[in-house]
Structures are given as C-alpha cells and as structure tokens.
Structure 1
Amino acid sequence: MTRVGTALAAAVALLSVGACTGEEPAGGDPTTSAPSPRATPSPTPTPAAPTIPPEATEHSADGAAAFVKYYYSAMRYSAMTGDGAILLAASTEECDTCAAMAAYDTKLHKAGGGYEDLPWSPTVTTSQAERDYFVVTTAVTTTPYRYKRRADSPWIEVSPKKRMHLFRVRDTSEGWKVIHLTEQARVPK
C-alpha cells in the first residue's frame, strides 16, 4: 500500500469503506524492515516550501495540470517536514485523502520518524474539464528511498514503483484546490 493508498484507506474509513493503519509509507511497499546496509545518511536539508507557479492560476486544463504538479511538491514537502498544513491549504474539506496524508505526515514526524526523501516523478497524462471541476490523471515513478516510523526504528527500504493517480481539482476563489485524490491501478513495469 502506498502513502496515497494509506491515506485513501483512512479517508474511506471515515466514510465507512476502509481503514488506515498508518503502517505503510509513501510511494510503495516496503521491501524490508531490516536496517539498511548503507551508511547512515547525512541529514537531508529541510526543503523549502513550494510555491504555486503562475501557470497554475489559469482556469484551464493546463492550469489544473500545473496545480497538480505543484501538489506533488506540496506532498513531498509535507512528507519531508511533517508540516501537513500545506496539503490542507491546497485542498478542500471534501478531500479526506488529503487530510489523511497531512495527519500521517504530522504523526510520523512527531514520533521522530520521517523520510530520507520522497523521490516521486509525476507526469500528467490527462487534464480535462468535467462538471464544475477538472480531472487530472498522472503517471508516477519513484526511485528507491527509505523512511522510519519512529526515531528508534530501523530504516525501511521502499522499492521503485510505477502507479497512477487521479485528481479532481476545483478552481475556487482562493485558487485551485484538490477535492478528491485516489490511486488508480498500477502502471505495468
């Protein structure tokens, strides 16, 4: 289960469809829970909070796509810092997945855990208007990375993955907001 999948499960649990264990990392299934043979990494510098690019201010399919690319930067920032407020600011209250990811990141960091990095490389595959929102789909690849659940736990390796996400975004008076986020079937390797 991925971070989005875990967050989806948590969100769905709130709506009576599933449950979030908070046990799985972002971006993929752990391949091992044994300590990594790699040397302990130097502390990863705290990333700067991303800013919404000017192209994401357009009310168009391209503007929605640019906003979704920004949202991936916000997801990385939240995962790396535990500051989920950036995800909440870029989503509506309708997005239970967004709230669950923000809560997971905050909980992980409060326990002393965290990510070495969150190396997601998203590519927008479609972006189109639908009713009063836009639907944006992405193909996402990751490289291997590690995370810890707590300060005293071992690093957990996450293998490279390919997957697809579906976003529903709405252009509001406060700018674009995610109203729904879900993981689609994995992309074949």
Structure 2
Amino acid sequence: MPRAHRPRRLAVAATALAGALAFSACEGGGDMTLSAPPTSPTTTAPPSPTTSSAPLTTVTSSSPGYVPVKPAYPSDAKEQTRAGAEAFIRYYFAALNYSWMKPDALILIDLGDETCNSCKSLSATAQELVAKNEKYTSLPARVTGIEYALGDDVNMRFVVDIHQFKSERVSSAGDVVGVDREKTLKRIVGVKWGVDRWRINLIGAG
C-alpha cells in the first residue's frame, strides 16, 4: 500500500523567504517574514497582473519535465541610468525565480551588495534547494510594477509591486514539502552602482 506523504515545514535558516517570497529588511531592524507556513496543497489559478508593467519572465508552465529558461542579462541593465537600474531590478527577480525553479545557486552570485541581508537570505534558499535536490514547480513571484522614488546616479530607490503566487516546493521524488500562499507585496528596493554594474543593496518594507 503506498505510503502517504505529508508536507513538512521548510527550515530555512535566517530566511527572507520561508519557501516563497518573504522579505527581510536590509537596514534598521529584524526580519519581516511575510510568507505563511506551508499548508496542504490545493489547486488555484494565479490572477493576472494588476498593472500594465511587463512581466519579469515568460515562465508559465509547471508541467512534468518543464525546464525553466535562464534569463539573459539585459543590455539596458548595464547602463548607469534610471532605466538601467529598473531593468536590473527586473532581471534580479527573474534570476531569483529561475534559481528556485531550476534550481541554480550560481545565478544570484554578485547581484546583491554585501550589505543586503535579504539578498543573502534569498541566495541561501537557492543554495539549500540545490543541496537538498528540491525545487519550485511553478513561478514563485512576478514584478507587476516599479516606480522610481528617489536617488542619484549612484544610489536609487524604487517602490516595487510584487505578486507572490501560490507555489509548491517539491523533493527529487516529487513529494510536496512546502506550499506557499498567494499574496501581493509592496517593497522598497534599493540599487547601488559600483565599478561597472548595479547591485541590490536594500529590500525593505514599502
């Protein structure tokens, strides 16, 4: 008789995303975990984005055998301009989605500044997925809007709207080990220009 498998809680040390998109502030305080504890999986269809902003990635399938497509680094993100900073933020979250669905811990290397604790936590989740041979089977989140807030040529802040989808984390055997709830998030995302590229230096409460 087949043995029933029950979802278990994900244990991600110092998590900024307890299995889905939950962020901790990079400056001035403790973690702000916004992701709910794993629950028994149910089937729901993700809603359409609520703004006209272009989606982060074209990933739409979670069928067996689906291989996530690694996002290309956009040429616009190489420019020290407001548009370049926005393109880089979109790329960062596309890379984050890929890192959890593939999984791939290398793509996030050097995208975050050393001062960004949230970036370290997000990268740690990707590393854990690789180590445990686990992955997300559907798109964890999508940026639905970005609005410039303040800054200069070196440091900029943006208000970023993010839709976190209901998503499952599964083992190599296909067992569901975590399920995260659907929600809408608003975050302040900071970027800093250094040498020849942008890096994330803040993901905080909006």
Structure 2 length as normaliser, TM-score? 0.67
Aligned-partner residue type, residue 127 of structure 2: T
| Paired position in structure 1 for 2:148 | 126
1:5-58 Cα distance to aligned partner (Å, 9 max, x none):
36x38x78xx9x5479xxx8xx842561x35579xx743533232122122222
**Do the aligned partners of 1:88 and 1:98 also contact (CA within 8 Å) in 2?**
no
| Paired position in structure 2 for 1:81 | 102
Q: 2:160 aligns with which of 122, 138, 143?
A: 138
Seq. identity, %: 22
2:86 is the counterpart of 1:65: yes
After superposition, residues 1-189 of structure 1 pair within 5 angstroms as 2=17, 3-5=20-22, 8=24, 18=30, 28-30=35-37, 32=39, 34=40, 36=42, 42-122=63-143, 123-130=145-152, 132-148=154-170, 153-184=175-206
User: SS of 1:110's equivalent?
Assistant: helix
Cα gap change, 1:102 to 1:31, in 2 (>3 Å): closer
**Do the aligned partners of 1:80 and 1:118 also contact (CA within 8 Å) in 2?**
yes
CA distance in 1, matches of 2:174, 2:64: 16
CA distance in 2, matches of 1:127, 1:60: 14
CA distance in 1, matches of 2:43, 2:171: 18
The answer to which of 122-131 and 148-157 deviates more is 148-157
CA-atom RMSD in angstroms? 3.3
User: SS of 2:138's equivalent?
Assistant: coil
**Do the aligned partners of 2:168 and 2:176 also contact (CA within 8 Å) in 1?**
no
Cα gap change, 1:44 to 1:72, in 2 (>3 Å): farther
**Do the aligned partners of 2:92 and 2:111 also contact (CA within 8 Å) in 1?**
yes
Q: How many residues align?
A: 171
More helix by share: 1
More strand by share: 1
Structure 2, unmatched stretches of 5+, are: 1-15, 45-61
Q: Which runs of 4+ in 1 moved over 6 A?
A: none
Aligned-partner residue type, residue 29 of structure 1: A
- Higher relative CO (Cα under 8 Å, sequence separation at least 6) belongs to 2
Structure 1, unmatched stretches of 5+, are: 185-189
CA distance in 1, matches of 2:128, 2:165: 24
